[in-house]
Amino acid sequence: MAQATRAGVPGLAASAGGYGHGVTENPAGLTVIGIGADGWPGLPGTATAALTAADVILGSDRQLALLPPDVTGVRVAWPSPMLPALPGLLEEHRGRRVAVLASGDPMFHGVGATLVRLAGPEAVRIIPHPSSVSLAAARLGWPLADVDVLSLVNAQVERLHPLVHPGRRILVLSRDADTPAQVAGLLRDRGYGDSTVTVLAQLGGEAESVRTGTAADFDLTGLDPLNVVAVECGRGGPARPVVPGLPDDAYESDGQLTKREVRAVTLAILGPQPGELLWDVGAGSGSIAIEWMRSHRGCRAVAVESSPERVARIRANAGALGVPDLAVVEGRAPGALAGLPAPDVVFIGGGLTREGVLEAAWDALPAGGRLVANAVTLESEAMLAAWYAKLGGELTRVAVNRASPVGGFTGWRAMMPVTIWSVSKP
């Protein structure tokens, strides 16, 4: 079962250089030109000269239609899907003068970054245009340094959750005309229906328009698909902390949940860093993997869980808490770990005493990788003590007491103590 599910693990295959099949140079050069809704009149002379001289011009149908007839290069519309076709297109037009049209700033959530990765920075010339985010900030008078920016062009709207806080300003790059309604719906569901939502469409063009309302009652029909959504969060919704240790009731759970205080300590010991991949083995409700990913947008995680009901719950929690890209593998460790992308860090929260789990996790780690395991039973604690004696590291015991009613008074109720072993691989 784990093998079948693993094929759907998103976003974990490779990063830089992943499309470089034979694409190492472009002798004639590759020019990526940012273009806005104002089209040809809004381009600087360097951009119009590059387009006029180009043998081939790649872009979307909408972008290509902005060029005047006297731009004679062969116009090639992007195929769908675009990304897998890029290496072949570059190879097909090797040795010709190639211009690529991109929306706004090609290096800001644009195709420019992908082309630099494929062809190499020495082969790509970038001529940027003001991004739609810059134009939106200018229209609104918002200092960009104080604004959170999120692209939903190729992402799920749930990615917005970690940015929603009372009084915060957010700029959202839309996928299409439906995105503003999805944003408003998420805000309403979070209790932020009093948020001000502004939709800025066709920025910089003759058809530029601005519509403003509240998330609770904004009429978001008939919008132009080329839009940016500006959100000024209201103050009526519940706040979620940005540090590890979300309230326990933020999660759907059957009780298999690392409690808030222990979770905060465990995340501090795990020490997430941007770009690292975590295996959360025996993930339960997914809280460790979810808060690992919430710590930075570059942090990735795979949650491994054998219970189908808990797998569904992990996915629901991940969406509700803003990390819908969390990869979930249904299966039992250690078998379910085979073939997963190599981790930087492993956390074992369940199945610790199962034969081969610790060994498989340790073997999968590279030099410098970190392993953290939590134990609550005498048997699992004894196993950690044995591994600690063999490999060293650090052992920590966390005991938490919460106040609760005792008759007409208040007393302390102890939670089960948790032993945490952490070790780095030499």
Which of left, alpha, beta for 95 (phi over 0: left; psi -120 to 50: alpha)?
Answer: left
Position 63 pLDDT exceeds 70: yes
Give me the percent of the chain exceeding a pLDDT of 90. 89
- Model confidence at 12, pLDDT cuts 50, 70, 90, reads very low
Position 384 pLDDT exceeds 50: yes
Predicted local confidence at residue 4, as pLDDT: 36
Predicted local confidence at residue 116, as pLDDT: 93
Cβ atoms within 10 Å, residue 388: 17
- Model confidence at 285, pLDDT cuts 50, 70, 90, reads very high
Is residue 147 within 8 A of residue 165, CB to CB? The reply is no
- SS3 at position 43: coil
Position 325 pLDDT exceeds 50: yes
Burial of 175 (0-12, 13-18, 19+ CB in 10 A): middle
**Residue that has been written with the tokens 């808990």 in this structure:** 310
Position 138 pLDDT exceeds 70: yes
Mean pLDDT of 368-375: 98
Position 2 pLDDT exceeds 70: no
Predicted local confidence at residue 20, as pLDDT: 34
Predicted local confidence at residue 406, as pLDDT: 94
Does the predicted model carry a pTM greater than 0.85?
yes
Mean pLDDT of 262-277: 98
Position 385 pLDDT exceeds 80: yes
Domains of the chain: 2-129 (3.40.1010.10), 133-232 (3.30.950.10), 248-424 (3.40.50.150)
Cβ atoms within 10 Å, residue 187: 25
Predicted local confidence at residue 315, as pLDDT: 98
Residues 6+ apart with CB under 8 A from 45: none
Position 29 pLDDT exceeds 80: no
Predicted local confidence at residue 3, as pLDDT: 38
The alpha-carbon radius of gyration of the chain (Å, integer) is: 25
pLDDT tens readout for residues 77-117: 999 999 999 999 989 998 999 999 999 999 999 999 999 99
Predicted local confidence at residue 238, as pLDDT: 87
Predicted local confidence at residue 193, as pLDDT: 97
Name the more confident of 340 and 29. 340
Burial of 409 (0-12, 13-18, 19+ CB in 10 A): exposed
pLDDT tens readout for residues 233-244: 999 888 899 999
Predicted local confidence at residue 239, as pLDDT: 86
Q: Output the CA–CA distances (angstroms, integers) from residue 61 to 80, 101, 286, 324, in the order listed.
A: 12, 10, 42, 31
- Model confidence at 7, pLDDT cuts 50, 70, 90, reads very low
Question: What CA–CA distance (Å, rounded) separates 109 from 151?
Answer: 7
- Cα 248 off chain centre by: 23
Position 14 pLDDT exceeds 80: no
- SS3 at position 163: helix
Q: Is the dihedral of CA 383, 389, 393, 397 positive or negative?
A: positive
Position 199 pLDDT exceeds 90: yes
The token pair at 249 is 């009731």
Name the more confident of 5 and 337. 337
Highest mean pLDDT among 3-7, 13-17, 88-92, 174-178: 174-178
Predicted local confidence at residue 257, as pLDDT: 92
pLDDT tens readout for residues 334-362: 999 999 999 999 999 989 999 999 999 99
Mean pLDDT (the chain, rounded): 92
Question: What CA–CA distance (Å, rounded) separates 190 from 197?
Answer: 15
- Model confidence at 1, pLDDT cuts 50, 70, 90, reads very low
